Amino acid sequence: MTLATLAQVLQPALSGRYAVAGLVTLGWEDMRAFVAAAEAEGCPVILQAGPSCRAHTPLPILGKMFRHLAEHASVPVVAHLDHGYTYDECREALDSGFTSLMFDGSRKPLAQNIAETAQIAEMAHAAGISCEGEIGFVGYANGENSAGTDPEEAAKFARETGVDAMAISVGNVHLQQDKEGGLDIARIRAIEALTDVPLVIHGGSGVPVDQRRLLATTSNICKFNIGTELRMAFGAALRTAVNSDPARFDRVTILKETHDPMVAATRQVLRAFAP
């Protein structure tokens, strides 16, 4: 049993100067490959259920899947809710066995974001699990624009909510398909000068690999969320498997062939965050 909370994997990362990957899952095939990759690299991993994952599979099922994988893994595995938007959604994740709740109040005014996030953090801590909040808005490629994190507001947010991890907006953008969007290092330094809460980068797929490595080992960024990059790898592996034999129709036979390419792609992602 290596089920862990977010704080249990991020605090050692903060003191040991490395980062942990928050991997966006969409189903059994990718989550299983993510854990296999983490075991092969000997590092912890955060399995994340975001909005599109939850739209496809109910939270109680995802909780069971994450916990089953954690129970059989040789490395710490966090069962994390990504972008919970309401108290009820976070409550359902807690009741479904998740060990970490991300509440995203980043579209709301500061005072409201603080008040609502503090409530989720209190609920999480009362149950012995963790909470991630977001301050400053991380936008979406071809969608909403970002609003950069103000360092003073970030310090106030960390202090008043009691979160275990804080997602910040420092040039990162969700859903980027290339690795060309560098982060604003000066803003990261200004934030970490005012608070020692572990920092989280959403939209990690868009960050150049060299910068991921640099920040993982020299800053308070302890968690990089990676979604798009590995979803592209899965899509490519699935397409190859489907096209390799037009007569095949059994989906388990086809999906099996995504496993090895996904493990390989994930191991490459994980290596950039190592000490």
Which segments of the chain does DSSP mark as H helices, in order?
Answer: 6-16, 28-41, 51-56, 59-71, 87-95, 110-126, 151-161, 185-192, 209-218, 228-243, 251-256, 259-271
What is the dihedral sign for C-alpha 24, 67, 46, 85? Answer: positive
CB-nearer residue toward Zn ion: 202 or 212: 202
Residue with Cβ nearer Zn ion (44 or 203)? 203
Q: Terminal CA-to-CA distance of the chain, rounded, Å?
A: 24
Q: Which of 82, 104, 150, 164 is catalytic?
A: 82
Instruction: Measure the CA–CA gap between 166 and 131, rounded to whole angstroms.
Output: 9
Q: What does the chain come to in residues?
A: 275
Nearest residue by C-beta to Zn ion?
A: 202
202 binds Zn ion (CB under 5 A): yes
Beta carbon of residue 253, minimum distance to Zn ion (angstroms, whole number): 34
- Answer yes or no whether residue 67 interacts with Zn ion by CB under 5 A: no
Q: In whole angstroms, how large is the CA radius of gyration of the chain?
A: 18
Residue 202 Cβ vs Zn ion, minimum distance, rounded to whole Å: 3
Kindly tell me which of 202 and 223 has the beta carbon lying closer to Zn ion.
202
Instruction: Indicate the residue among 50 and 63 with the shorter CB distance to Zn ion.
Output: 50
Shortest reach from residue 227's CB to Zn ion, in Å: 8
- Verify whether residue 82 is a known catalytic residue: yes
Instruction: Work out whether strand 100-103 and strand 3-4 pair parallel, antiparallel, or are unpaired.
Output: unpaired
> Minimum distance from CB of 157 to Zn ion (Å)?
16
Q: Is 194 exposed, middle or buried (0-12, 13-18, 19+ CB in 10 A)?
A: middle
Question: In this complex, which beta carbon is closest to Zn ion, that of residue 54 or of residue 202?
Answer: 202
User: What b/e readout covers 46-75, taking b as 16+ CB neighbours within 10 angstroms?
Assistant: bbbbbeebbeeeebeebbebbbebbeebeb
| Residue 212 C-beta: closest distance to Zn ion, Å | 16
Query: Would you give the binding string for Zn ion spanning residues 95-134, x where CB under 5 A is met?
Result: ----------------------------------------
Number of residues counted as binding Zn ion (CB under 5 A): 1
Contact between 80 and Zn ion per CB under 5 A: no
Q: Which residues are catalytic, by number?
A: 82
Q: Which residues of this protein are in contact with Zn ion, per CB under 5 A?
A: 202
